[in-house]
């Protein structure tokens, strides 16, 4: 046998052995089955990862829900507290309004009573003057009439004194625009400047309140 034939036979034998050689388990390797197993393993891994992600998301959602529930309770408590404070303030406001209204009515009633009493007291002081006028009207003799008028004037002055009324505005006084009303001015070097030289109508005041300004003539 030549050397070339021997080599071909060896090659043939080697090739046959490589093609027919089984795997270590005794079975031939099937590529589609391997791919299927890999797909199943991948799918299983993905399922596990998906389950873990879902559990993580569920945990996060539960935590967020817990926080929101706590926040909602906190806001509810704050709202309830604010509503309670509002109701208390509203109640205080209504009570203050009622008290003020009662105070206003009571004060007005007292003011009206004071005014009525003062008015009545003033009339009581004036009535004697009318009595004297009525008596003077009955006099026919001049002396009696004069006596009656003097009595009336005296009664009037006594009445003003009892009411706390003072008269002002006399010749020789210094002109004061706050209490005097200068209706005439005259140049007169014999008297002082701004001096009252004639009184047309006396003024009256009660305390610091001017009841009537005095009408006067003033020297420049």
Torsion of CA 48, 51, 57, 60, to 10 degrees: -90
What is the predicted pLDDT for the residue at 129? 84
What is the predicted pLDDT for the residue at 12? 45
pTM: predicted TM-score of the whole model, two decimal places: 0.48
What is the predicted pLDDT for the residue at 21? 47
Q: What is the pLDDT along the chain (220 residues), one digit of tens a residue?
A: 444 444 444 444 444 444 444 444 445 545 666 667 777 777 777 777 777 777 788 788 888 888 888 888 889 889 999 999 999 999 999 999 999 999 999 999 998 888 888 888 888 888 888 888 888 878 778 888 888 888 888 888 888 898 899 999 999 999 999 999 999 999 988 888 899 999 999 999 999 999 999 999 999 8
Assigned superfamily of 166-220: Head domain of nucleotide exchange factor GrpE (2.30.22.10)
What is the predicted pLDDT for the residue at 31? 64
Torsion of CA 7, 10, 12, 18, to 10 degrees: -140
List helix spans (H) across the chain.
3-20, 31-136, 142-162
The candidate with the shortest Cα–Cα distance to 166, out of 122, 196, 203, is 203
Domain spans of the chain? 79-163, 166-220
């Amino acid at each position: 046998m030549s050397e070339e034939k021997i080599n071909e036979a060896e090659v043939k034998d080697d090739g046959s052995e490589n093609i027919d050689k089984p795997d270590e388990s005794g079975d031939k390797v099937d590529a589609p089955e391997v791919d299927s197993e890999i797909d199943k393993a991948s799918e299983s891994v993905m399922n596990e990862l998906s389950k873990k992600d879902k559990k993580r998301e569920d945990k996060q959602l539960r935590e967020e829900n817990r926080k929101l529930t706590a926040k909602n309770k906190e806001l509810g408590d704050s709202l309830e507290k604010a509503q309670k404070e509002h109701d208390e303030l509203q109640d205080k406001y209504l009570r203050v309004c009622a008290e003020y209204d009662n105070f206003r009515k009571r004060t007005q009633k007292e003011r009206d009573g004071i005014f009525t009493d003062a008015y009545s007291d003033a009339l009581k002081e004036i009535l004697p003057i009318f009595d004297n006028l009525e008596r003077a009207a009955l006099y026919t003799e001049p002396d009696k009439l004069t006596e009656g008028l003097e009595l009336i004037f005296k009664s009037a002055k006594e009445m003003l004194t009892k009411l706390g009324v003072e008269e002002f505005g006399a010749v020789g006084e210094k002109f004061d625009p706050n209490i005097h009303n200068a209706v005439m001015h005259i140049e007169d070097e014999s008297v002082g400047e701004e001096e009252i030289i004639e009184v047309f109508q006396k003024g009256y005041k009660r305390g610091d309140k001017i009841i009537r300004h005095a009408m006067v003539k003033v020297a420049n």
